[in-house]
């Protein structure tokens, strides 16, 4: 019995920590949605693009880790700048769906550019953190938890606290919230809309880079990251599109539920149900609580 409980705990903790990886991707979506009510479908492509660039800098040009990170982050700022200038500004008054489709196009551009520049083969990314159980925890608590998972959890926690403080207590954060609430009114009282957008897209780019590094260290830097990033969508639906804590809780729920289902119910159906389980979970959430756990209620006016 105790063993079963321990096993369950291990599955649960493993799932929760894996969930923080989804949260990291979802965080990028939330940042942009919060500031511009734009749904950025290209976030997954940004994850892929940024981490492939990082790997390219590090492995093809032998640039040291820190410098490569800074260069990749700068590259994401440039991507953010171009996106704001060339995609978002012309679509300022377009409908939500139109902008969404344009970001799907943007995703295609980023994926294509990344592969054209750095090739299509899978790259290994070694962060110096092993993806194996931490001996100390394994000995003392009898839980097998990967060091990479713990790092991802810590990184996610630091980023969330940082972003939360930024949104809540700084002038920039106030500006962001004002723009999110009513872009027209915000710009009429002198909040520089362009700068805010650039800032948000750059921040989302850096978040994507960090998320990509975590995923890349686990699964290798490859195109499949884009599909993995799609799983951030159910995370967002569960957590709510405009809530940073929601992205975290949503990620934890998805991570835990898909692992538990996979381990306990999966074997009856031949496994691999984690491919669709998050989406079906999202459907149930949509039917009962469309705004997500922490999202604002959607009010539509005629």
The residues binding another protein (CB under 8 A) are 39, 41, 86-87, 90-91, 94, 96-102, 104-113, 115-116, 119-120, 227, 230, 233-234, 237, 241, 269-273, 275-276, 279-280, 282-283, 286-287, 290, 300, 302
Q: From the CB of 87, what's the least distance to another protein, in Å?
A: 6
Q: Burial of 40 by CB count in 10 Å (0-12 exposed, 13-18 middle, 19+ buried)?
A: buried
Q: From the CB of 225, what's the least distance to another protein, in Å?
A: 14
Q: From the CB of 88, what's the least distance to another protein, in Å?
A: 10
Q: Residue 146: which of 259, 270, 51 has the closest Cα?
A: 259
Measured from the CB atom, the residue of 164 and 276 that comes closer to another protein is 276
Measured from the CB atom, the residue of 110 and 160 that comes closer to another protein is 110
Q: What are phi and psi of 231, to 5 degrees?
A: -70, -15
Measured from the CB atom, the residue of 104 and 155 that comes closer to another protein is 104
Measured from the CB atom, the residue of 113 and 260 that comes closer to another protein is 113
Those residues with Cβ within 8 angstroms of residue 190's Cβ, 6 or more apart along the chain or in another chain: none
Q: From the CB of 229, what's the least distance to another protein, in Å?
A: 12
Q: What's the rounded Cα separation, in Å, for the pair 174 and 124?
A: 40
Q: From the CB of 172, what's the least distance to another protein, in Å?
A: 26
CA quadruple 55, 30, 229, 194: dihedral, nearest 10: -50
CB half-sphere exposure, 201, CA atoms < 13 A: 29
Q: Residue 38: which of 224, 196, 209 has the closest Cα?
A: 196
Measured from the CB atom, the residue of 94 and 165 that comes closer to another protein is 94
Q: From the CB of 50, what's the least distance to another protein, in Å?
A: 17
Measured from the CB atom, the residue of 175 and 239 that comes closer to another protein is 239
Q: How many CB atoms lie within 10 A of CB 80?
A: 23
């Amino acid at each position: 019995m105790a063993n079963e409980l321990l096993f369950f705990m291990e599955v649960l903790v493993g799932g929760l920590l894996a969930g923080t990886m989804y949260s990291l991707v979802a965080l990028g979506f939330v940042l942009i949605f919060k500031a511009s009510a734009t749904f950025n479908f290209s976030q997954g492509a940004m994850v892929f693009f940024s981490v492939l660039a990082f790997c390219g800098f590090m492995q093809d040009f032998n640039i040291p880790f820190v410098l490569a990170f800074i260069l990749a982050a700068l590259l994401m700022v440039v991507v953010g700048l171009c996106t704001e200038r060339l995609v978002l500004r012309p679509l300022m008054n377009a409908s939500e769906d139109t902008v969404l489709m344009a970001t799907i196009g943007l995703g295609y551009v980023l994926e294509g550019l990344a592969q054209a520049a750095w090739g299509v083969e899978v790259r290994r990314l070694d962060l110096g953190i092993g993806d194996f159980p931490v001996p100390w925890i394994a000995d003392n608590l009898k839980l097998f938890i990967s060091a990479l998972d713990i790092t991802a959890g810590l990184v996610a926690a630091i980023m969330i606290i940082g972003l939360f403080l930024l949104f809540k207590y700084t002038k920039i954060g106030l500006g962001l919230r004002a723009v999110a609430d009513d872009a027209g009114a915000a710009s009429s009282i002198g909040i520089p809309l362009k700068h805010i957008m650039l800032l948000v897209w750059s921040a989302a780019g850096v978040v994507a880079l960090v998320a990509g590094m975590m995923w890349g260290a686990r699964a290798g830097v490859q195109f499949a990251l884009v599909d993995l990033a799609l799983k951030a969508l159910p995370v967002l639906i569960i957590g709510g599109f405009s809530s940073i804590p929601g992205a975290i809780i949503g990620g934890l729920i998805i991570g835990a539920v898909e692992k538990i289902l996979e381990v306990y119910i999966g074997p009856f159906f031949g496994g691999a149900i984690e491919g669709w389980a998050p989406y079906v979970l999202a459907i149930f959430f949509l039917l009962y609580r469309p705004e997500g756990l922490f999202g604002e209620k959607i009010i539509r006016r005629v």
